[in-house]
Amino acid sequence: MVQSVQWAWGISVAIQMLVLGLLLFRGHFRKIPVFTAFVAANVCQAGLLYVIYTQFGFGSRTTLVLAWVSEACILLLRTLATMEILYLVLGPYRGIWGLGWRVLAGAFGLVLLYAGIQAGRNVSWAIVLADRGFHLAFAVALVACLLLIRYYSIPVESTYKVLLGGFCIYSCTVVLANTVGYVLALRGFTDYQPIWQLATIIAYAGVQLAWAVTLGRAAASTAEKSPLLVAASLYRQLSPQINERLGLLNEQLNRIWEPKATRQ
C-alpha cells in the first residue's frame, strides 16, 4: 500500500472502533445485535489483514485468497445486518415485510446472475466482477426497499435511516470504483489500484463517521430529551388515515403471500 492508503486505512479502522464502542457501551447492541456483529467483524478483519499483509506481502496469492475469503464473510454479515434493520422497520407490517424481502431476493438474484455471466466471460476479473455484482445487487435491493418505505409513508427512526443510507452509499461507491477501475485496467492503466483503494476506504470511513455521530446523538437524545409530539387534534386526524392505509395494504399483501388462507 502507498502511504496515503495506509493513513486512510488506519483512520477508517479507528472510526470503526469508535462505532463499535458506541454500540457496546451505549446499549445499541441489544436492539441491533447482528449489525453490532458486523461492525465487530470489520474491526477483526482489519487486524487479520494487517497480519496477512505483514506475513505474506500485499501482492501474493495467499494474501489475495485470504483477503477475499474474509471479505465474503463481511459481505454476508452486511446483508444480514441490513435485513435486521429492514425487519425492525417493516416487521410490524407482515404483508409489507413479505413484499420487502421478496424485493431484496429478486434484486439480488437478477443482478448476481448478470454478474456471474459477465465473470464467466473474463475469468481473470471474476472476483472483481462478483464483488461489483454483489454491491450493485445490494444497492438496487436497498433502494427498492427505501422507495417502498417512502411510498407507503412508513415511519422510520432517524438512526435506521442513517444506517441504511450508509450501506447504500458505500455500495454505490464500490460499484462506481470497480467499474472505473475495470475500464482503466482494460485500457492499460495499471496504477489505478491506489486510487481505487483510497476512494473505497474514504467512502467507508465517511459512512462510519456518520454512523458514529448518529449513534452518539441517538443515545444522548434518548437520555436527555422527551419525544416531540404533535398536537392532539392533528394526531387524531392523521393517525386513523395512516393506520387505515397501512392496514389495507398489509391485508392485501397477506392475501397474496398466503393464498391457502384466502381459499378457506
pLDDT tens track, the chain, 264 positions: 678 888 988 999 999 999 999 999 999 999 999 999 999 999 999 999 888 888 888 777 788 778 878 887 888 888 888 889 888 888 877 777 777 777 777 766 766 676 566 555 554 455 666 667 777 777 777 777 777 777 777 778 889 989 988 998 998 888 888 778 777 777 777 677 778 788 889 999 999 999 999 999 886 544 444 444 444 554 455 455 555 565 666 666 666 666 554 444
In the block, cell 445485535 appears at 33
The pLDDT, as a whole number, for residue 163 is 92
Query: Is 264 buried (19+), middle (13-18) or exposed (0-12) by CB count in 10 A?
Result: exposed
Is 69 exposed, middle or buried (CB count within 10 Å of its CB: 0-12, 13-18, 19+)? exposed
CA 154 to chain CA centroid, nearest Å: 19
**Whole-angstrom Cα distance, residue 176 to residue 122?**
19
Here the cell at position 118 is 459477465
Q: Phi first, then psi: give them for residue 32, nearest 5 degrees.
A: -130, 70
Q: Which three cell numbers stand for residue 234?
A: 392533528
pLDDT reported for residue 151: 76
Q: How many CB atoms lie within 10 A of CB 232?
A: 8
Residues, the chain: 264
Q: Which fold would CATH assign to domain 3-225?
A: Rhopdopsin 7-helix transmembrane proteins (1.20.1070)
How many whole angstroms separate alpha carbon 152 and alpha carbon 13? 37
Q: What is the 3-state secondary structure (H, E, C) of the chain?
A: CCHHHHHHHHHHHHHHHHHHHHHHHCCHHHCCHHHHHHHHHHHHHHHHHHHHHHHHCCCCHHHHHHHHHHHHHHHHHHHHHHHHHHHHHHCCCHHHHHHHHHHHHHHHHHHHHHHHHHHHHCHHHHHHHHHHHHHHHHHHHHHHHHHHHHHCCCCCCHHHHHHHHHHHHHHHHHHHHHHHHHHHHHCCCCCCHHHHHHHHHHHHHHHHHHHHHHHHHHHHHHHHCCCCCCCHHHHHHHHHHHHHHHHHHHHHHHHHHCHHHHHC
| pLDDT for residue 130 | 64
The residue type of 172 is C
pLDDT for 199 equals 87
What is the C-alpha separation between 108 and 115, in angstroms, rounded?
Answer: 10
Question: Can you give the pLDDT at residue 194?
Answer: 79
pLDDT recorded at residue 211: 95
Amino acid of residue 253: L
